[in-house]
Copies of this chain bind each other. A is one copy, B any other.
Amino acid sequence: MSKMIEYEDASEEVRAVYDDIRATRKTEYINNFWKVLAQHPPTLRRTWQMVKEVMTGPGELDPLTRELIYVAVSVTNGCEYCIASHTAAARTKGMTDAMFGELMAIVGTANMTNRLANGFQVEVDEIFKR
Contacts and interface: CB of A to CB of B under 8 A. Distances in A.
B115 A108 contact: yes
Given A54-B109, A73-B107, A43 B116 contact: yes
Interface residues of A, number: 81
A46 B76 contact: no
Interface of A: 1-3, 29, 31-33, 36-37, 39-40, 42-43, 46-47, 50-51, 53-55, 57, 59-61, 65-66, 68-88, 96-125, 127-130
Contacts of A83: 118-119, 121
Q: Is the interface of A mostly helix, strand, loop or mixed?
A: helix
Nearest to A66: B106
A116 B119 CA distance: 19
Contact of A37 (B84, B111, B116, B129): B116
B68 A101 contact: no
Contacts of A70: 106, 109-110
